[in-house]
Amino acid sequence: MHIVLKKVENTITVCNVFYGHNLSVVQNWVNDYLVEYSNGLKTTPVQKYEKEVEYYVTDNCVYKRYKTLNKGYVYNNYTTHKDNLLSLTILPFDGHIDFVPENNSLLSNINEEINNRVLKQLDKESLLQILQKVNKLTKSKAKFTSTEYTGIIMEVIRDFKKELYSSIAKKLKRFGKKPQALDLSKILLNCKLEAKSKCE
């Protein structure tokens, strides 16, 4: 699995997640993404003080090179600038883990399938948080059996869901307590008393 992180100015976000071990597919996607991004920038209007604006892609980054006029001299002097507008980073996942082959039991196969289904339903940010926690836990050993690795992922998912639900519960508490259910016996008693008073 590979995670592509996008950095614009000082903000880092998850751009895409690739399942599989083929790095060339990921690199091709990154190159296409950067070329499309730079081509889109070429259609934007140029600032008044900028001259010879050029957008180019190198080392998984989109750069903008331009010249600005330094006023106040007898002969106009230009200064060349180079700005990094966007950079993409490819993070490989589980490359350092050695799997020990073993005969999987039915239970571990079921657990693995459950983990796969839960991970497929998560958004990119949640998936990144889970993978970072799994990375921390897997650094304790060099070799893992598939059952141990499945167990680690199950534990991380369980903890993540628990934290998520507790944060949601804390947010809901701010809106106050739930209204109590109506007591029908009190309502009926009030109706009887009202009917009795009308009859008298």
> Tell me: the pLDDT tens digits for 100-150?
555 555 555 676 777 777 777 778 888 788 888 888 888 777 777 777 777
Over range 171-194, report the average pLDDT.
Answer: 60
| pLDDT (0 to 100) of residue 56 | 86
Find, among 179, 196, 198, the residue nearest to 188 by Cα: 196
For the chain, report the end-to-end CA distance as a whole number of angstroms. Answer: 82
Residues 63 and 20 in one domain: yes
Residues 116 and 58 in one domain: no
Residues 78 and 117 in one domain: no
Residues 55 and 138 in one domain: no
| pLDDT (0 to 100) of residue 176 | 60
The DSSP letter of residue 63 is: E
| pLDDT (0 to 100) of residue 22 | 79
Residues 122 and 47 in one domain: no
pLDDT of 69 > 60? The answer is yes
Residues 163 and 119 in one domain: yes
- Number of structural domains in the chain: 2
Structural domain that includes position 107 = 94-177
Q: Which residue has the higher pLDDT, 90 or 93?
A: 90
The pair of structure tokens assigned to 123 is 């958004």
Residues 128 and 60 in one domain: no
| pLDDT (0 to 100) of residue 117 | 75
| pLDDT (0 to 100) of residue 191 | 59
Over range 50-77, report the average pLDDT.
Answer: 80
Whether 142 maps to a domain, the answer reads yes
| pLDDT (0 to 100) of residue 95 | 54
Q: Which residue has the higher pLDDT, 74 or 27?
A: 27
Q: pLDDT tens-digit profile of 30-55?
A: 999 998 988 888 888 877 778 888 88
- H/E segment holding residue 53: strand 50-58
Residues 35 and 107 in one domain: no
Give the DSSP letter string of 151-190.
HHHHHHHHHHHHHHHHHHHHHHHTT-PPPPPP-HHHHHHH
Other Cβ atoms within 10 Å of 26 Cβ, number: 21
Whether 75 maps to a domain, the answer reads yes
Q: pLDDT tens-digit profile of 146-180?
A: 777 778 888 888 888 888 777 777 777 766 655 55
Residues 71 and 117 in one domain: no
Residues 129 and 85 in one domain: no
The answer for residues whose C-beta is within 8 angstroms of residue 52's C-beta and 6 or more apart is 65, 66, 67
Find, among 89, 155, 162, 160, the residue nearest to 130 by Cα: 160
Whether 82 maps to a domain, the answer reads yes
Other Cβ atoms within 10 Å of 40 Cβ, number: 11
Q: Which residue has the higher pLDDT, 181 or 33?
A: 33
Rounded CA gap, 158 and 162, in Å?
6
Average pLDDT value for the chain: 76
- Per-residue buried b or exposed e for 154-177, using 16+ beta carbons within 10 Å of the residue's own CB: eebbeebeeeeeeeeeeeeeeeee
Whether 61 maps to a domain, the answer reads yes
Length of the chain in residues, anyone?
200
